[in-house]
Chain A
Amino acid sequence: MKKKIFQYIIIATLVSGVIISCTKLDEEVYSEVLPSKFNPSEKDLPSILAPTYASLRTVMCGWQGYFDLQEEAADCIITPVRPNGWDDAGTYRRMHQHTWTTQEYQPFNTWQNAYSSITKCNMILSQIEEGTLKLEAIKESAVAELRAVRALAYYLLLDNHGNVPIVTSFKDVSLPKQNTRAEVYAFVLKELNEVLPVLSEDAATTYGRMNKWGAKALLAKIYLNSEIYVGTPEYEKCIKEADDVINSNKYQLDNNYSDVFTYTNQNSKEIIFAIPYDEIYGVGNQIHLKTLDPLSQSVYQMTAQPWGGNCAVPQFIDTYDADDSRMKDSWIQGPQINPTSGQVMINYVKFVPGMGGTDGIVAASNQGFRIGKYVIKPKATGAMDNDFPFLRYGDVLMMKAEALLRTGKSNEAALIVTEIRKRAFKDNPGKATVTGADLLKGSNYQYGLQAPDGKVSVVNGGADIVYGRFLDELGWEFAAEAHRRQDLIRFGVFQTKRWFNHSPHPQAQTRTLFPIPQDELAKNPNLKQNPGY
């Protein structure tokens, strides 16, 4: 018996030996990369930098992204209720009427993606600093580029949310403190100015990336809006930065307006900083799906059915000169023909009865001109090839022109505006010329509320807008380029005018900043809501 017991003890010991060695619970990872398995070197730099730019792709054309945030709050583009939907719990109506809530997705999306880019920049910067990412010779230029991208992302927040936390460390995950708009403004300027000397001056190899000229164009933009941001105009600085870009001779106006926006626009000579898209690699540009009616599918022989959508405000279309070719280049209008059958699929008309939704108005499928600026490739898929021109030479010229105009040099400004207009009036060159006196006039936009029958009532017009004509020029040149909200604020229109179904918000001045997203306020008690919300 004793012998047997001894036997059992031996067995029990051995069995427990099996058990103890079988408690290894290390995760075996197959479809993810562990840091230990990745030793980055210079050749990996593009992949390491890429995510910081990828966020911009999402923010610009993503669902209810930056494009919508800038355009639907302004006076050129609306998304009315359609038979196929587009009420979406009233969000487009609220964007239009400036009654957005603190939970509105569009400002939230911009916040999320801007900070996503910022955090990724911070992460890579900290890896470079710690030496886990060894870049040797290119370290300095990589750091400069990352800081420039981060500054660009902060610029989006500066412009839209204003009072946001400035975070520059990745390691510190304590809840960030809020900064004022002025601090953010100063931070962005400081960062850009500091990295300028190191940034690449080569335009050809830095397409889609922040180079010196992109940074300067961005500086010009910030200086142009400086009065809005911090109350101090900086038009001279704006002119200087614009001149640096102009005198670099790296960029020029493209011969054709549509060259800047077409599906091969990576060849454009005009684009300074693009957010590149690609139908295979860089998907995300869905402007065509969002604007076109489903019936347009066969017109372009598209492999995806559009679900549009948004369209032009009729009052804005009325401001165009009949001979301005940008009108046709920017907006899809009239009968749309199936190229194989010759059949008219749909006929887009200018008229739109209203935003709809609560009053029961539903805009018909064919009502409203559609965004056609980003030329739709035949047989387009659900993702456009067209890159989004975030900063372009034409924009730099017009920034300079506006700064000149605002500093009393209207004739100099007029020369630049005329240069811009030339390619829009090729068939009618005489109409291209504007004078300094023209630019001092008001706007042609018939601001006022549009009734469901199309009549504009409660008119408060555009004649009283200071430099209103210049604002019109901006509208024609930069329609559907996500500029309009900023421009309207600078010209005071955003806060004061009526258009389509929009009346000024009772606290209009506070609407020039979007609210801090409610979700973020809830997560970070250090944040305080912007005034007026």
Chain B
Amino acid sequence: MKAKNECYKHRSNGLWFLLLFLLPCQLYAQNAITIKGTVYDSADGTTLVGVSVNEKGTTNASSTDNKGSFILKVSNANAQLVFSYLGYKLQEVSLNGQNTVNVKLEPESRGLNEVVVVGYGTQKRGEVTSSIATVKSEDFTKGAVRDAAQLVQGKVAGLRITTPSGDPTASTQINLRGLNSINGSSEPLVLVDGIPGSLNTVSPEDIESIDVLKDGSAAAIYGTRATGGVILITTRKNRGKSKATIEYTNYVNVQKIARRPELMTADDYRRLIAEGKNYTDFGSNTDWLDEILQNPVSQNHNISFFGGTGTTNLTGSVNYRNWEGIFLRTGQERLTIRADLNHAMFDDKLKTNIQVINRTTSSTQGGADGYAYRQAMIRNPTDRILTEDGKWQERAVYFYDNPLSRINEATNDNTFREMRVSGSLDYRPIKDLSLKILASNVQNNNLNGNSTTFDHVNTTKSQLNGTASRSTYSNKENLIELTANYAKSINNHNFTLLGGYSWQDATFENFSAYNFDFPTDAYTWNQLEAGSALKRGLAEMTSFKSKWQLAGFFGRLTYNWDEKYLFMASVRREGSSKFGVNNQWGTFPAASIGWRVNKENFMRDIAVVSDLKLRAGYGVTGTIANEPYMSQSSYDFTYNEGAFINGKWVQGFVPTRNFNPDLRWEKKKEYNVGVDFGLFESRVTGSLDYYTRNVEDLLYNFPVPVPPYLTGNMFLNAGTMKNSGFEALLNIKAVDSKMLKWNTNITYSTNKNKLVDLSNKQFDVTTEFFDAGYTGEPIQSSTHRVKVGGPIGQFFVLKSVGVDDNGKWLVENKDGQVIPIAESTAEDRQYYGNGIPKYLMGWNNSFQIKNFDLQVNIRGAFGHDVLNMQRMYYENPVNKAYNVLKTAYDPVYGKQLNTDLVYVSHYIEKGDYIKIDNITLGYTLPKDFIKKISNLRIYVSGLNLFTITKYKGLDPEGVSYSGDFTFAPGIEHRDTYPTTRTFTAGLNVSF
């Protein structure tokens, strides 16, 4: 504790000393002639604030004030003035004796001079030597997007983004360049304006651009959190213009289940009963799936405004979203408020920024979880919903509840609140040096309440007499970063130097309480003490707290000669409290080089090539253990290890884990080579990248022998994993006329994964494989096997090749012979297909015809397989107590199945698909059509519109590849909240 206090004290001292930077500095110069002028935007004629004005070849410099005016003393009447401004083309003006100069700056065209956000700074696209993808807001997916990831879906080669469920509270899934860790996280680091956050920290409307640092040389500056790549989200800011704008956007959408499973109806039951099948007819007609589905209408409103002057300005936004789900009583409300304040002082030498983001998401949902969905699938369609006396009709069958009672008699209330405050001071004591301090504090908390009434099966079947629980958690995260950036150009030598320090700490706490046996169900979770289970010792309560710290030092040097030969090197030294005392610190270096071939003389005559850059990079990043304390030698008191001693039950005192003080960083070493090109005056631009990455010292819950160890696993560093792949991006301005503009963009990526090794020097053994995935009840077997030397994602299954006359499966044994499944053993299982796509493609088109705009986004994934769990469970009529798919009585290999449910390869299907994912048609009203409104656009949009696939399930993309499914990708789970098709109508107005 002492150390911590000291730390904070010193830090505040540090802040105080930094305030010394505020001292105004004096310029020492001797000038003769005074020049005045104003700088305008050539497009809209507004004045520009903060444009730097230099006299070429001297140190004389100034910048425009809040009216766009400048005063500069120059040394001679024929001097050259250089006007530079971020986002605009550099302009040089010869004075030729004039004393007044008015200049119109042209906005920079996209392309090589485009500014790319890199770690702790920006770089011109043309100077970038590593693999970085940028998507600007005008290229974002339009319509009802879930979070930031969906904005760039299909637009970044190598970044796999899917929406595996239609649950309105769920988020997208994201993965970059394959799976890179076993027990560490493969999730990319998301930074919102430099501060760690998530893909839904800010509303999609508030995002200006998204940059993705893909390869190791780009990401290594973020050291240990960067193995999964880095996603840099830049929020919309008032870029120093003094114009005030208000923008309002809204949309309304409706959703439909993307594809509805076709189950047997009451008529089918009666027909089968007539054929002698052993089904029960309860006399009603109920479409259970219809009963749990609703037609959701959702809405979203966003107001943003930009205002202020060149020295003080603000951006504010309020976003409200209310989404409903397709299941009854599902939905989520979200309110995000953001304020961004900037103030500059001392001739812009000191820039300050304060940003506040407040986010609240809340939902009051019923019990429409995956289990209720399953109950709707399997419930007898001849059964009724309610009994004569208005109670839910229940049946005493195993794992079989009335889905409507589960949905309606349970309430699940959740509120998440987050407050993010960040501030920065950027001091430029001299022109080329920037000293910056960035600090942030993020606090969030979540409160959940859950209860079931007396009419829920918890009481009607399990006699619990009402259940209620309350749980909460909170996170506190502090970040402080000090950086110094120095940029200098001497003749043709351009270099930048960055140095910095970063500190991050995070504290997590939670608490939960559960009780049951209430005198009334009216309290829900608001009077937990009323339940008698607490008095009887059957209630439950938990609490937990953890903390981790991360400290890092980093430096980066970039150098280029005449923007022709480019070089970058960086290093980060980082320490984490999560590792063993002996191994807390790791070093993560990176270097990359680039060659702008088109700048060479020999390329001058090749007019076709407007840009050609070759680049290569190498970088090391680390992966941190997911949880703190994994190396700690500590003990727990727990009743799980307790016993009845001396006539009473006592908690046992046991080691928390097998001790491992040697736990250390998992390291990824990546090579990346690429080429960026522009052809036909940049009408065609693109990049190609090839990478290969080796992850070493994989963090793994390694099997250790029992004895001598206490438990059979120990968290340690073991093994190597390799990923390699190719990525291509192509942008084409296919048609660029006054009438019609057509831009098309194609992304393509491949990834090949291999688990090279799983071994640890300390243990003289190698693990050959581990199993992953789980079919669930009643089949109860693992679905995947990860084999050393093989790729992640392989299914491991009995290969079915036919069905015999008795309706039993015929499978292939390990020698390739066909045998009845009855004679098969576990050794006959084989690798069959893989759940991870080999190729991903995106094809995005935007058309502009007069005032109409049209976006068509097409995505596809190929070369993978999907385990169709709904077919595995519901396409076999063995259990007459449960309903099944209409296809359950279709012959399989020409025979009627008459077998228990089993996991065989028959249910693993080719998962290739092409999705026409997004079509948006917009119309922008002519300018000044309505006074005071500078821009008005209306649009309609469809999301997840068509899927072209041979896959028989609901959605080949409805598969998870994170969490429990990290090593069992490609399972379309029977309980997954079905994906939806969304139709949106919206409006954007700016004043």
Q: Given that A15-B18, A303-B462 are known contacts, is A276 also in contact with B644, CB under 8 Å in the complex?
A: yes
Q: Which residue of A lies closest to B552 (CB)?
A: A23
Q: Which residue of A lies closest to B3 (CB)?
A: A24
Q: Decide if B629 touches A89 in the complex (CB within 8 Å).
A: no
Stretch at the interface among B99-107, B304-312, B645-653: B645-653
Q: Decide if B654 touches A51 in the complex (CB within 8 Å).
A: yes
Q: Is B464 at the interface (CB under 8 A from chain A)?
A: yes
Q: Decide if B778 touches A87 in the complex (CB within 8 Å).
A: yes
Q: Is B767 at the interface (CB under 8 A from chain A)?
A: yes
A116, B543: Cα distance in complex, Å: 27
Which residue of A86, A119, A304, A522 is within 8 Å of B707 (Cβ)? A119
Q: Given that A116-B706, A302-B462, A360-B808 are known contacts, is A522 also in contact with B767, CB under 8 Å in the complex?
A: yes
- 1/0 per residue, CB under 8 A from A, across B10-31: the answer is 1101100110110001001000
Which residue of A31, A85, A208, A522 is within 8 Å of B780 (Cβ)? A85
Which residue of A27, A38, A57 is within 8 Å of B635 (Cβ)? A38
Q: Given that A30-B546, A119-B708, A281-B649 are known contacts, is A57 also in contact with B10, CB under 8 Å in the complex?
A: no
Q: Given that A29-B634, A523-B704 are known contacts, is A48 also in contact with B398, CB under 8 Å in the complex?
A: no
Complex interface residues of chain B between 697 and 743 (CB less than 8 A to chain A):
703-712
Q: Is B551 at the interface (CB under 8 A from chain A)?
A: yes
B704 contacts across to A, CB distance below 8 A: 523
Q: Is A322 at the interface (CB under 8 A from chain B)?
A: no
Q: Is B777 at the interface (CB under 8 A from chain A)?
A: yes
B398 contacts across to A, CB distance below 8 A: 83-84, 293-294, 305, 307
Q: Is A14 at the interface (CB under 8 A from chain B)?
A: yes
Q: Decide if A112 touches B584 in the complex (CB within 8 Å).
A: no
Q: Given that A31-B544, A208-B645 are known contacts, is A22 also in contact with B7, CB under 8 Å in the complex?
A: yes
A1 contacts across to B, CB distance below 8 A: 28
Interface centre among B462, B637, B768 (most CB of A within 10 A): B462
B86 contacts across to A, CB distance below 8 A: none
Q: Decide if B633 touches A15 in the complex (CB within 8 Å).
A: no
Q: Decide if A112 touches B825 in the complex (CB within 8 Å).
A: no
Q: Decide if A360 touches B900 in the complex (CB within 8 Å).
A: yes
B537 contacts across to A, CB distance below 8 A: 280
Which residue of A11, A172, A519 is within 8 Å of B703 (Cβ)? A519
Q: Is B545 at the interface (CB under 8 A from chain A)?
A: yes
A101, B902: Cα distance in complex, Å: 20
Q: Is B34 at the interface (CB under 8 A from chain A)?
A: no
Q: Decide if A25 touches B18 in the complex (CB within 8 Å).
A: no
Q: Decide if A21 touches B647 in the complex (CB within 8 Å).
A: no
- 1/0 per residue, CB under 8 A from B, across A251-279: the answer is 00000000000000010000000001011
Q: Given that A8-B429, A14-B17, A302-B463 are known contacts, is A33 also in contact with B637, CB under 8 Å in the complex?
A: yes
Q: Given that A207-B647, A276-B643, A295-B396 are known contacts, is A25 also in contact with B10, CB under 8 Å in the complex?
A: no
Interface centre among A18, A169, A279 (most CB of B within 10 A): A18
Query: What number of A residues sit within 8 Å (CB to CB) of B?
Result: 104
- 1/0 per residue, CB under 8 A from A, across B381-404: the answer is 000000000000000111100000
Determine how close the nearest CB of chain A comes to the CB of B785; give it in whole angstroms: 13
Determine how close the nearest CB of chain B comes to the CB of A294; give it in whole angstroms: 4
Q: Is A442 at the interface (CB under 8 A from chain B)?
A: no
A53, B645: Cα distance in complex, Å: 9
B575 contacts across to A, CB distance below 8 A: 23, 25
Q: Is B488 at the interface (CB under 8 A from chain A)?
A: no
Q: Given that A22-B551, A523-B703 are known contacts, is A11 also in contact with B20, CB under 8 Å in the complex?
A: yes
A34 contacts across to B, CB distance below 8 A: 632-635
A461, B306: Cα distance in complex, Å: 94
A11, B437: Cα distance in complex, Å: 13
Determine how close the nearest CB of chain A comes to the CB of B9; give it in whole angstroms: 9
Q: Decide if A27 touches B628 in the complex (CB within 8 Å).
A: yes
Determine how close the nearest CB of chain B comes to the CB of A176; give it in whole angstroms: 5
Q: Decide if B639 touches A345 in the complex (CB within 8 Å).
A: no
Q: Decide if A18 touches B705 in the complex (CB within 8 Å).
A: no
Q: Is B765 at the interface (CB under 8 A from chain A)?
A: yes
Q: Decide if A57 touches B643 in the complex (CB within 8 Å).
A: yes
A301, B460: Cα distance in complex, Å: 11
Q: Is B636 at the interface (CB under 8 A from chain A)?
A: yes
B637 contacts across to A, CB distance below 8 A: 33, 47
B767 contacts across to A, CB distance below 8 A: 522
Q: Which residue of B lies closest to A116 (CB)?
A: B710
A112 contacts across to B, CB distance below 8 A: 706, 712
A112, B709: Cα distance in complex, Å: 10
Q: Is A115 at the interface (CB under 8 A from chain B)?
A: yes
Q: Given that A35-B634, A51-B652 are known contacts, is A523 also in contact with B705, CB under 8 Å in the complex?
A: yes
Q: Which residue of A lies closest to B767 (CB)?
A: A522
Q: Decide if B826 touches A101 in the complex (CB within 8 Å).
A: yes
B763 contacts across to A, CB distance below 8 A: 523
Which residue of B4, B462, B780 is within 8 Å of A304 (Cβ)? B462
A101, B633: Cα distance in complex, Å: 36
Q: Is A67 at the interface (CB under 8 A from chain B)?
A: no
Q: Decide if A522 touches B703 in the complex (CB within 8 Å).
A: yes
Q: Is B815 at the interface (CB under 8 A from chain A)?
A: no
Q: Decide if B642 touches A54 in the complex (CB within 8 Å).
A: yes
Interface centre among B545, B548, B655, B710 (most CB of A within 10 A): B710
A305, B537: Cα distance in complex, Å: 20
Q: Decide if A22 touches B503 in the complex (CB within 8 Å).
A: yes
Determine how close the nearest CB of chain B comes to the CB of A1; give it in whole angstroms: 7
Q: Decide if A46 touches B706 in the complex (CB within 8 Å).
A: no
Determine how close the nearest CB of chain B comes to the CB of A516; give it in whole angstroms: 11
Q: Decide if B641 touches A523 in the complex (CB within 8 Å).
A: no
- 1/0 per residue, CB under 8 A from B, across A370-410: the answer is 00000000010100000100000000000000000000000
Q: Decide if B708 touches A173 in the complex (CB within 8 Å).
A: yes
Q: Is A19 at the interface (CB under 8 A from chain B)?
A: yes
A359, B808: Cα distance in complex, Å: 8
Q: Decide if A297 touches B10 in the complex (CB within 8 Å).
A: no
Q: Is B576 at the interface (CB under 8 A from chain A)?
A: yes
Q: Is B226 at the interface (CB under 8 A from chain A)?
A: no
- 1/0 per residue, CB under 8 A from A, across B548-570: the answer is 11110100000000000000000
Which residue of B3, B399, B765, B900 is within 8 Å of A362 (Cβ)? B900
Determine how close the nearest CB of chain A comes to the CB of B646; give it in whole angstroms: 6
A336, B821: Cα distance in complex, Å: 37
Complex interface residues of chain A between 291 and 324 (CB less than 8 A to chain B):
293-295, 297-298, 301-305, 307
A183 contacts across to B, CB distance below 8 A: none
Q: Is A88 at the interface (CB under 8 A from chain B)?
A: yes
Which residue of B429, B584, B711, B781 is within 8 Å of A116 (Cβ)? B711
Q: Which residue of B lies closest to A520 (CB)?
A: B705
Q: Decide if A50 touches B13 in the complex (CB within 8 Å).
A: no
A278 contacts across to B, CB distance below 8 A: 644, 649
- 1/0 per residue, CB under 8 A from B, across A90-102: the answer is 1000000000010
Q: Decide if B633 touches A84 in the complex (CB within 8 Å).
A: no
Determine how close the nearest CB of chain A comes to the CB of B339; give it in whole angstroms: 29
Q: Is B538 at the interface (CB under 8 A from chain A)?
A: yes
- 1/0 per residue, CB under 8 A from A, across B668-709: the answer is 000000000000000000000000000000000001111111
B493 contacts across to A, CB distance below 8 A: none
A52 contacts across to B, CB distance below 8 A: 643
Q: Is A489 at the interface (CB under 8 A from chain B)?
A: no
* Other 19 A-B pairs with CB < 8 A, given A11-B18, A17-B14, A276-B644: A15-B18, A18-B10, A25-B551, A27-B547, A28-B1, A29-B634, A32-B634, A40-B653, A46-B650, A49-B643, A85-B780, A87-B779, A115-B706, A116-B711, A119-B707, A304-B462, A360-B806, A381-B538, A522-B768
Q: When A and B form their complex, which 5 residue pairs have the shortest distance between CB atoms, in order from nearest? A: A85-B778, A358-B822, A18-B14, A281-B649, A276-B644
Q: Interface on A for B, CB 8 Å cutoff?
A: 1, 4, 7-8, 11, 14-15, 17-19, 21-35, 38, 40, 44, 46-54, 57, 81, 83-90, 101, 103, 111-112, 115-116, 118-120, 123, 165, 167, 169-170, 172-176, 205, 207-209, 266, 276, 278-282, 293-295, 297-298, 301-305, 307, 345, 356-360, 362, 379, 381, 387, 519-520, 522-525
10 contacts between A and B (CB under 8 A): A22-B10, A46-B650, A53-B643, A116-B710, A176-B708, A207-B647, A276-B643, A305-B398, A357-B900, A360-B806
